Amino acid sequence: GETVTVQELAEKLKKTAAEVIKKLLGLGTLATINQEVDYDTATLIAGEFGIETELKVAVDKEAIIMAEPEDDLDQMITRPPVVTIMGHVDHGKTSLLDAIREANVTAGEAGGITQHIGAYQIEHNGKKITFVDTPGHAAFTAMRARGAQITDIAILVVAADDGVMPQTVEAINHAKAANVPIIVAINKMDKPAANPDKVKQELTQHELVVEDWGGDVIAVPVSAKARIGLENLLEMILLVAEVHELKANPDRPARGTVVEAELDKGRGPVATVLVQNGTLHIGDTIVVGHVMGRVRAMIDDKGRRVKKALPCTPVEILGLSDVPEAGDILVAVEDEKLARDVAEKRQQRKKEEALKSNNKISLDDLFKHI
């Protein structure tokens, strides 16, 4: 029949594991936290606590691993902002990211291997900023659909010679829907045709009124090509970050989001993960979407092997049993069996869904041929 671990039972009854173990001892059973107890015993224990309601042993293991622990305010530290660059095609998102990164490569790193991973961290005036390269709006939408919220600040890149375009509007809507503050980077200011006033005018049509026009939207003129205004942009990012008082707790199991993942020929499944809260350590048992694993190695955005990743640090991780998807949420789980159960359940669900959509396609095909 169904069983439940002492830990799960405790969660279900809103008691500590120690309290449950004590009750079990009272019933003559010496149990550990990971021990399985059967339905009858679980019901008995619930009764011991005076809990009348019928106990459903099929605990929601997924809910247990996904539950956000309440953070102790004393343990919270200021964390770097996570910044996403958005905007219309060819307005210079990648160029701007590259320019910022190059301008902030310290002497020690120069000449070293700079990995291209989907996210990187820089330091400006002693403060860190994490940048995430969104591979396009589709990926951003997919991430949001999965409930992954990774961005604290959105940089909206608008080319000064082109102005607000359809994907600019899309980006504005995404940022607004996600309730993320927007900083406008008016790019390509080096071009003779640059017309920042026209950009500002067009932005007002989308309820973005820049500061020098009496609004509250920060707009920074920049040129990724001529390396103009980059310092100013970084200053503004740090300013907005400070206002939002971004905090994280490094003393809890890690939680993060997959930015990108692939199957590497030599290294097996590799995922670039942005750790958002807690600290990820080598050896941690993790569940990433439908994939389970144990962190075997971590590589930072400068290609260095690291032993741990603090909040808002992007790292590549090795040691997964399969390739997860961008937008999947990573959680470090102490109970390995619990991790395995959840991953297996998700794999099962994924298979069932794939089967369902396959059936649908074949049905459609069938009708097409009639």
Q: Binding site annotation covers 94?
A: yes
Residues 43-62 that bind Mg ion (CB under 5 A): none
**What does DSSP say about strands 305-306 and 308-309: parallel, antiparallel, or unpaired?**
unpaired
Q: Per-residue DSSP letters for 336-354?
A: HHHHHHHHHHHHHHHHHHH
Annotate 298-309 with b (16+ C-beta within 10 A) or e (fewer). bbbbbeeebebb
Would the annotation count 91 as a binding residue?
yes
| Shortest reach from residue 156's CB to ligand GTP, in Å | 11
Q: Which does 225 bind (CB under 5 to 8 A by kind): Mg ion, ligand GTP, none?
A: ligand GTP
Q: Is 92 annotated as a binding residue?
A: yes
How far is residue 23's CA from residue 27's CA, in Å, rounded to a whole number? 6
Q: Which of Mg ion, ligand GTP, none does residue 251 bind to, with CB < 5 to 8 Å depending on kind?
A: none
Minimum separation from the CB atom of position 99 to ligand GTP (A)? 8
Give the nearest distance from C-beta 94 to Mg ion in angstroms.
3
Q: What is the dihedral of CA 85, 90, 91, 95, to 10 degrees?
A: 60
DSSP bridge partners of 218: 183
Q: Specify the residue, 192 or 266, whose C-beta has the smaller distance to ligand GTP.
A: 192
In angstroms, what is the minimal distance from the CB of 237 to Mg ion?
A: 19
- 206 labeled binding residue: no
Q: Nearest 10 degrees: CA dihedral of 64, 65, 68, 71?
A: 100
Which is nearer to ligand GTP, 12 or 188 (by Cβ)? Answer: 188
**Which residue stretch of 75-83, 87-95, 149-157, 267-275 sits at the interface with Mg ion (rule: CB under 5 A)?**
87-95
C-alpha distances in Å from residue 201, one per residue of 169, 195, 196, 208, 212: 14, 10, 9, 9, 12
User: Residues in the site for ligand GTP, rule: CB under 6 A?
Assistant: 87, 89-95, 187-188, 190-191, 223-225
38 is in an annotated binding site: no
Cβ pair 115, 302 in contact under 8 A: yes
Residue nearest to Mg ion (CB): 94
277 binds, among ligand GTP, Mg ion, none (CB under 5 to 8 A by kind): none
**Percentages (nearest 5) of helix, strand, coil residues in the chain:** 35, 30, 35
Helix (H, G, I), strand (E, B) or coil at 272: strand
Q: How far is the CB of 187 from ligand GTP (least distance, A)?
A: 5
Q: Which of 16, 94, 106, 359 binds Mg ion (CB under 5 A)?
A: 94
Contacts with Mg ion by CB under 5 A lie at: 93-94
